[in-house]
Amino acid sequence: MKIKNLNPHLKKLGVDHLYHLGLDTSMNLKKMFGDVKYVCMGGSPDRAYVMAKKLAKDLKIKIKGSDLKPVGKSERYSVYKVGPIISASHGIGMPSLAVFMHEITKLLYYSECEDPMLMRIGTSGGVGLEGGTVVVTEEALNAELKPVYEIVVLGKKRAYPAQLSKKINQEIINANREFEVVQGKTVAANCFYEEQSRLDGVLDPGFTEADKMAFLNKAYMMGVRNFEMESSQFAAFCNRAGIKAAVVCVTLLNRLNGDQITASPKTLSGYSDNSQTVAVNYIRSRL
């Protein structure tokens, strides 16, 4: 099924400029992107590039030319296309992700893609899980531990549910029997520091180590297994748009043991590879 016309106001536009992607509807988007089935996204442009290379290698997809080049402009986001898969970066946090989600979804809509799926493949701070563990999100929570994404529109707060598909999560787990993939709740915070109950930001947080541990333990008891900065916005957006979605994040540390990320760059890149491998195994099982 193609994405339905989500917003009636779009019909009034002549050419729609996907400004931050550097693409617009005067281009032959259907020819460029009409075959897309999966969009894999994460915060960092470097990881988007690594993922694009990995998709090409592991799924044996030929890439045009000698190297991968981003499509459109890469001032804000990097978008790579590898066969029927887009690998892209969305930046840090929900404001950056929200802009990307509107424009990448427009891209899928205008390109008339059949039944596309969006996957966030990211990094996170584990709760009760050691570094390198892959978590699939069953439900995203805000920093108040509520399963919603809230935005203020015309001066009023609106809340959208942030659940993800149990069926898709199970398919991801089934496609990765050799990996430890944990299903749990994910807290999407508005910062890496205070909202993730870290004590190592530059400002005095105004809470103690004991307060922090009480909050993290409460979250753990509710089923929270990791903290990151985008999952609730991502889940709520996909629910509203009626698009299949999953959040697959690797943990970089266990927050029950501390705040600082101390693993070496080599170890961290191995961790990141874990989440990308889980996504690639899932895509391979579906293509």
Which spans of this chain sit near ligand R2B (rule: CB under 6 A)? 43, 92, 122-124, 192, 228-230
CB of 110 to ligand R2B, least distance (A): 27
The pattern of x and - marking residues 119 through 148 that bind ligand URA according to CB under 6 A reads ----xxx-----------------------
| Residue that has been written with the tokens 């890149």 in this structure | 269
Nearer to ligand R2B, 36 or 224 (CB): 224
Tokens standing for 182? Answer: 């944990």
In whole angstroms, how close is the CB of 34 to ligand URA at the nearest point?
Answer: 34
Q: Which is nearer to ligand R2B, 103 or 230 (CB)?
A: 230
Residue 59 contacts residue 283 (beta carbons within 8 Å) = yes
In eight-state DSSP terms, residue 105 is H
Q: Taking CB within 5 to 8 Å according to partner kind, which of ligand R2B, ligand URA, none is near residue 184?
A: none
The whole-angstrom separation of Cα 27 and Cα 55 is 26
Based on DSSP, count helices (H) and strands (E) in the chain, helices before strands. 7, 12
Please give the sequence-ordered ranges of beta strands (E in DSSP) within 142-200, or none if there are none: 148-153, 156-161, 181-188
Q: Does 196 bind ligand URA (CB under 6 A)?
A: yes
**Binding residue for ligand URA, selected from 77, 110, 149, 192, defined by CB under 6 A:** 192
Q: For residue 113, what are the CA distances in angstroms to 30, 31, 106?
A: 8, 10, 11
Q: Answer with the entry of ligand R2B, ligand URA, none that 227 interacts with (C-beta below 5 to 8 A by kind).
A: ligand URA
Among 103, 181, 228, 233, interactor with ligand URA by CB under 6 A: 228
Q: Which is nearer to ligand R2B, 20 or 113 (CB)?
A: 20
Integer Cα distance of 265 and 271 in angstroms? 10
Number of residues that bind ligand URA (CB under 6 A): 9
DSSP state of 184: E
